């Protein structure tokens, strides 16, 4: 498990170092000069073939004038396509519902995006998502009934619904056909 974590970090560092270098328009020779890290070591790091020490990462961050976290964090992805029908559900209760995590909170620290399908007569109960969270629902197919406290709201394919998700809520399919919708959870702290 630890080795897998190192692979993940090495991958992040490789991509982030190369991105930082290219965004500044500088060569490995210049980075070596600015950081005091050899060109061959920098090349190995960019290829994901080295596990640099904290000291080496500190030199790179200082020399490139970027934060240490900029080297470690998940790399920026300009585009990312999720093919929901080709992924396994994150949660599933056969005959009731299926939930796919399309973009987790860890991606950006502010928004989560899910697709939820509910079978006829199915119910999916969701607890509070915490204070300062808001949920937006966009229907893909069918009519969804949401119960928040004792109030029921019907959302159809022509609707988008928003509510404060710091309370228990229930997604209900009262129709004879499967329904499908996209949930956007936003942390607005």
pLDDT for res 95: 95
Closest CA to 52 of 18, 9, 4, 2: 9
Distance CA 144, CA 101 (A): 19
Strands (E), 86-189: 91-93, 97-103, 111-118, 123-126, 133-141, 144-148, 151-155, 160-164, 169-172, 179-187
Same domain for 167 and 116 = yes
Cα–Cα distance measured from residue 81 to residue 79, given in angstroms and rounded to the nearest whole number: 7
Query: Among residues 12, 13, 33, 15, which one has the least CA distance to residue 23?
Result: 15
Q: What is the CATH number of the domain that holds 28?
A: 1.10.260.40
- Are residues 38 and 108 part of one domain? no
Q: What is the pTM of this model?
A: 0.64
Q: Is 129 found in the same domain as 102?
A: yes
Residues of the chain with pLDDT under 70: 1-8, 106-109
In 140-174, which positions are buried (b, 16+ CB within 10 angstroms) versus exposed (e)?
eebbbbbeeeeeeeebeeeeebeeebeeebebbbb
Beta-sheet pairing, 151-155 with 144-148: antiparallel
Domain boundary among 42, 72, 102: 72
Q: Is residue 180 part of a domain?
A: yes
Q: Which pLDDT score is estimated for 108?
A: 66
For 95-150, the pLDDT digits (tens) are: 999 999 888 776 666 889 999 999 999 999 998 888 889 999 999 999 999 999 99
Q: What is the mean pLDDT of the chain?
A: 90
Indicate the DSSP class of residue 93: E
Q: Which of 43, 72, 101 is the last residue of a domain?
A: 72
Q: Is there a single domain that holds both residue 145 and residue 88?
A: yes
Boundaries of domain holding 125: 84-187
Last residue of a domain, one of 10, 37, 72: 72
Judge whether 77 lies within some domain.
no
Residues 150 and 61 in one domain: no
Q: Are 181 and 139 in contact (CB under 8 A)?
A: yes
Residue 122 belongs to some domain of the structure = yes
Question: Are both 28 and 95 inside the same structural domain?
Answer: no
Give the chain's domain count: 2
């Amino acid at each position: 498990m630890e080795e897998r974590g190192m692979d993940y970090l090495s991958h992040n560092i490789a991509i982030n170092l190369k991105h930082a270098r290219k965004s500044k328009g500088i060569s490995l020779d210049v980075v070596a000069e600015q950081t005091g890290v050899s060109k061959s070591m920098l090349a190995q790091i960019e290829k994901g073939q080295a596990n640099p020490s904290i000291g080496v990462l500190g030199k790179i961050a200082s020399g490139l004038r970027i934060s240490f976290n900029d080297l470690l964090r998940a790399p920026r992805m300009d585009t990312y396509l999720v093919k929901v029908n080709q992924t396994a559900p994150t949660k599933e209760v056969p005959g009731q519902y299926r939930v796919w995590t399309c973009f987790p909170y860890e991606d950006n620290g502010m928004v989560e995006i899910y697709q939820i399908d509910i079978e006829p007569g199915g119910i999916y109960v969701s607890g509070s998502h915490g204070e300062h969270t808001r949920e937006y629902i966009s229907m893909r197919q069918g009519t969804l009934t949401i119960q928040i406290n004792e109030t029921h709201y019907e959302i159809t394919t022509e609707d988008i619904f928003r509510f404060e998700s710091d309370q228990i809520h229930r997604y209900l399919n009262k129709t004879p056909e499967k329904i499908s919708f996209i949930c956007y959870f936003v942390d607005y702290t």
